A and B are shown apart, each in its own frame.
Chain A
Amino acid sequence: MKNRRRFLVFGAGVLAACKKAPDSESGAHMRVYGERAPGETSARWILELSASPGTGSSRTPLADLYGTITPTSLHYERHHSGVPAIEASKHELVIHGLVEKPLVFTMEELRKFPSFSRIYFMECGGNTMGEQRGNTQPDVQRSHGLLSGAEWTGVPLREVLKAVGVKPEAKWMIAEGADAGRMARSIPIEKVMDDALLAYGQNGEALRPEQGYPLRLFLPGWEGNTCVKWLHRLQFADAPAYSAKETAYYTELGKDGKAQIFTFVMEARSVITRPSGLQKIAPGFHEITGLAWTGKGRITKVEVSVDGGKTWAEAELQQPVLPLALVRFRYPWTWDGKEAVIQSRCTDETGFLQATHEELVAVRGSNSGYHYNAIKPWRVRADGMVTHV
């Protein structure tokens, strides 16, 4: 019986494969929750950092994507103690410390506040860390893939804080997740009162478990680690906690052996995503395209060089250019079939111009790792293969 069924299924499969798709026949049924076409196989690249499940990171396949919104299923992840299974109906946010009225909020209560939605980029503070030491990766997913863009929905934290009444002595907020390791970060009060978001939605639906379901902190333009997932506790204090993830990690060791601490903002940078590492191109016309972003407002300019940095030309920016969001740039290029080095550099509204690897290393040395944001050159070999430089 079992064998027979297997044969039938197999047989049907062969028949389906052999038949030419008849455009006069009606198509497949609808799906209650959509899926992409079977031939589309773009996927995250997973790096497990310990034998324990769920730790490490998964990286966004930047070279495969269009536009500036990362599909939620392809958004990058970084976990320190795996992905907890949390029921939204049982999840609560406790706010305490230097406040007038310590309060507990259910998810239902948080969703009753007027909601706020905005498109933002998010990048891990450790994105492209290896590049600083010359440990380049073969493709842009592995080198730059701890970067994604999404529309985030939630309630501005300062609105919720009106109910608790933060005391003037409170200078920091310690945000803690309900993951197994209770990951915690200290956030300066200025950011909390500026644009911090208690996010429960991403790209129009509830957060996915790996993005902090049912609630995460979102700090626009700041390193991803501060956007604490599975958020369950906010503690107001007169000092930071100096937690492990803000001292031992996410700090930048300089040449003098001193490390910079509380380096939150992601400075401006850009990268060409097509053509990029591991792709093969043919001589002729190509549209060079990539992404630019800055944690300090708006990208004002992206320039592209196709001659190893000797000359630069302005790329076209896809409008509208949103602040604190990914910006798509394009530059038309006819490749003559000779070896070439292509790269992009961006400028943001503070006047910051993205530097070369050499310029960055001259100031920071090779050990800071986090917040490395130098120009990324790609070599197009005479045979059309694109490699790192």
Chain B
Amino acid sequence: MCKSVGFLVAVSCFGQGRPASAELIQKLDITVFADGRGLPVGTGTAAAGRAIYKSKCAVCHNDNGEGREKQYPALVGGIGTLATERPVKRVGSFWPYATTVFDYIRRSMPFDHPRTLGVDEVYAVTAFVLHLNGIVAEGFELNERNLAAVKMPNRDGFVPDQRPDVKAKR
């Protein structure tokens, strides 16, 4: 512990930090792991997510996730294109885990007011985005127990760093 003894000005205190309370960690920790650890308790369906999407997301991502201009990314499309000349990397075609979709929407969206949705709203709107991609049914009730088991089309599409892969000729 941090004590100052006479004029030995608490050298041992320098850079020691203070204990992080469980409440503080709980407040800040929003990481969701691919196996579902970190998911908050909650639930939502795509049917419920449709209305939230319409009022909170469609202004940028368009009515059915088509995106707007090229600045606001589309949230649909691209499935089956990854090995072609013009791959389309989208949530449904490229993202390996549904947990990542949940985690990203919870931490970063809506872009202009992130972290303003309630937990159930995040589940619902995540379900809706997955539904737009044909991954879950409209009535499917997404929750902290089944989200990690939702299999994304590109789950097995990632390999480790292969470099150095390019060999230059002298």
Contacts and interface: CB of A to CB of B under 8 A. Distances in A.
A367 to B, nearest CB: 5
Given A81-B108, A94-B24, A243-B103, A359 B169 contact: yes
Interface in A54-89: 80-81
B36 to A, nearest CB: 11
B33 to A, nearest CB: 6
A359 B170 CA distance: 12
A103 B18 contact: yes
A277 B14 CA distance: 51
Given A253-B82, A259-B158, A242 B170 contact: no
Contact of A360 (B95, B99, B161, B166): B166
A371 B33 contact: no
A163 B17 contact: yes
A27 to B, nearest CB: 45
Interface string A325-345: 000000000000000000001
A181 interface: yes
Nearest to A267: B163
Contacts of A110: 15
Contacts of A371: 163
A318 interface: no
B97 A181 contact: no
Interface stretch (A45-53, A143-151, A205-213): A45-53
Contact of B158 (A94, A180, A251, A265): A251
Interface string B28-66: 111111110000000000000000000000000000000
A248 B85 CA distance: 18
Contacts of B14: 109, 112-113
A50 B158 CA distance: 28
Nearest to B18: A104
The residue among B20, B82, B91 with the most chain A CB atoms within 10 A of its own CB is B20
Given A103-B20, A241-B103, A359-B168, A113 B163 contact: no
A244 B103 contact: yes
B83 interface: yes
A262 B100 CA distance: 15
B128 interface: no
Contact of A258 (B17, B91, B104, B157): B157
A364 B167 CA distance: 11
Nearest to A365: B85
A109 B15 contact: yes
A354 interface: yes
A260 interface: yes
Given A105-B15, A259-B158, A260-B162, A244 B20 contact: no
B112 A248 contact: no
A221 to B, nearest CB: 13
Contacts of A345: 168
A367 B87 contact: yes
A101 B16 CA distance: 11
B134 interface: no
B163 A247 contact: no
A242 B71 contact: no
B111 interface: yes
A257 B33 contact: no
Contacts of B89: 248, 253
Contact of B29 (A52, A163, A233, A364): A233
A44 interface: no
Contacts of B19: 101-104
Contacts of A364: 165-166
B118 interface: no
A258 B83 CA distance: 8
B77 interface: no
B152 to A, nearest CB: 10
Interface in B70-129: 71-72, 82-85, 87, 89, 91, 94-97, 99-100, 103-104, 107-108, 111-112, 114-115
Interface of A: 49-52, 80-81, 94-96, 101-105, 109-110, 112-113, 155, 160, 163-164, 174, 176, 180-184, 232-233, 235, 237, 239, 241-244, 247-248, 251, 253-265, 267, 345, 350, 352-356, 359-360, 363-364, 366-367, 371
24 contacts: A51-B72, A52-B111, A81-B108, A81-B111, A95-B20, A96-B29, A103-B18, A104-B20, A113-B15, A163-B15, A184-B31, A235-B31, A241-B31, A244-B108, A248-B91, A253-B87, A258-B157, A260-B159, A261-B161, A264-B161, A265-B161, A355-B166, A356-B168, A371-B163
Interface of B: 14-20, 24-25, 28-35, 71-72, 82-85, 87, 89, 91, 94-97, 99-100, 103-104, 107-108, 111-112, 114-115, 157-170
